[in-house]
Amino acid sequence: MIEDEQKPMLRYLMVLTIASVVGLQAWMILFNNFAVEMAGLNGRQVGAVQSVREIPGFLALLAVFVMLIIREHRLGAIAIVLLGAGTAVTGFFPTYSGLLATTLLMSFGFHYYETVNQSLTLQYFSKNISPLVFGRLRSLAAAATIITSLLIFVLGGMTGYRIIYLVLGGLVIAAGIWALFQDPTHTNLVPQRRKMILRRRYSLYYFLTFMAGARRQIFVAFSVFLLVKVFDFSVREVTILFVVNNVINYFISPLIGKAIVRFGERKVLSVEYAGLILVFLTYAFTSSKVIVVLMYLFDHVLFNFAIAIRTYFQKVGDPQDIAPSMAVGFTINHIAAVVIPVLGGLAWMVDYRIPFVVGAVMSAVSLCAVQKIPKFSP
């Protein structure tokens, strides 16, 4: 049960989470077409922009030092303004250097908000409530993704890239400005350490966070590519699959939060990694278009189970370590963002099955690791 003093923070996070999804999805949905049609980028340049997009994820740990001078919830609002600004001005800079600059601005906003979002959720909501809040925010993110896709579809038939970026980015900026004038905090909190924290007893959290990042990169880099390259999916089929996936996640995400509360992190994460072994091996060896679609949808559902890694930390970590540890965790999560796509791409050239077999092996290793999570009393 969410208490009255927690409701302002919940409302705050809900608004900013919707805004962050609108900004990110606007960038992602339009990027490839804009880069080719308007900026005239080649493959090498597109890859470079995508790499630049991950740089702020590496630098998320610097948020700890920014919070020495800016309160955490204010940093979240400023991050959303930056995300919106980066999105809004993209259409005005249809060049390689312009896309590098606007992407970096947008990405700093997105990644720093995500760091603050995770931290504030764990600080302001109890161990039995935080999984439910994470689930609700994931559900809202799925809904916001669908709405953003529809807005882009409608606006795309009426105007050009510049106006679409400007409209959607403007909406994100407006949400950030609203948040700057809000104070959803209350005083019954443990003060956070304002320095980088690395503790040996958090090593399982660090390991699971890294592995989750690696799993995400295999999915992002190769799952849709598999659908298009191996199974000849059309743009329309991929778009329909994208919408169906988010509709499913809108309803499923809150249930995952409830499952964490009822069954605990170890059982939920065990289901995730056992399921991922099946998913990756199916990606590698199926020849059925229907089965690969089902695995794609199942893969996306399992992705939401990763919130149990954060709620596990909430149960074992010192309350003062939440903010710095979420920042460090976000950086660790993004280490794989540089390594996996490059190595996986080289492996794909030998045999497209190799990245998915590696993913299955990594999932098996993670399945063994999560057995070290203790069983917590209710």
Per residue in 185-218, pLDDT tens? 877 777 777 777 888 899 999 999 999 988 888 8
First to last CA, the chain: 15
Section 133-152 average pLDDT:
92
- Cα distances (Å, whole numbers) of residue 366 to 16, 72, 128, 210: 32, 32, 24, 10
Q: Which two tokens stand for residue 280?
A: 């990756």
pLDDT winner (highest mean) among 167-181, 210-224, 243-257: 167-181
The pLDDT score that the predictor gives to residue 198 is 84
Assigned fold of 7-182: Growth Hormone; Chain: A; (1.20.1250)
Give φ, ψ of 64 to 5 degrees: -60, -40
Q: Which CATH class is domain 195-378?
A: mainly alpha
Section 209-229 average pLDDT:
84
Which residue, chain included where needed, has tokens 């403007």? 170
What is the reported pTM? 0.89
HSE at residue 279, side-chain half, CA atoms within 13 A, is 28
Section 324-350 average pLDDT:
82
HSE at residue 188, side-chain half, CA atoms within 13 A, is 7
Closest to 304 measured CA to CA, from 215, 174, 190, 175: 215
pLDDT above 60 for 377:
no
Section 18-43 average pLDDT:
87
Q: Count the Cβ atoms, other than its own, within 10 Å of residue 52.
A: 15
The pLDDT score that the predictor gives to residue 350 is 87
* Least confident piece of the model among 1-10, 93-102, 311-320: 1-10
| pLDDT tens column, 51-106 | 788 888 888 888 888 888 899 999 999 999 999 999 999 999 999 999 999 999 99
Query: What is the average pLDDT value for the chain, to the nearest integer?
Result: 89
Q: Which two tokens stand for residue 5?
A: 């003093």
Ranges of each domain in the chain: 7-182, 195-378
Q: Do residues 106 and 169 touch, judged by C-beta distance below 8 A?
A: no
- Separation between Cα atoms, residue 321 and residue 94, nearest integer Å: 42
Please give the helix or strand (H or E) that residue 71 lies within, else none.
Answer: none
Q: Is 195-378 in the same CATH topology as 7-182? A: yes
- Cα distances (Å, whole numbers) of residue 292 to 49, 115, 226, 287: 29, 33, 9, 8
Which residue, chain included where needed, has tokens 């993209």? 90
The pLDDT score that the predictor gives to residue 235 is 62
- Separation between Cα atoms, residue 90 and residue 27, nearest integer Å: 9
| pLDDT tens column, 287-307 | 999 999 999 999 989 988 999
The pLDDT score that the predictor gives to residue 89 is 96
The pLDDT score that the predictor gives to residue 180 is 96
The CA dihedral of 237, 239, 240, 245, to the nearest 10 degrees, is 120
Closest to 2 measured CA to CA, from 184, 130, 183: 130
Proportion of the chain above pLDDT 90, given as a percent: 54
Q: Which two tokens stand for residue 310?
A: 């954060």
- The residue among 329 and 85 whose pLDDT is bigger is 85
- Cα distances (Å, whole numbers) of residue 124 to 20, 71, 137, 324: 20, 15, 14, 15
The pLDDT score that the predictor gives to residue 178 is 97
Residue 165 pLDDT class (50, 70, 90 cuts): very high
Give φ, ψ of 131 to 5 degrees: -60, -35
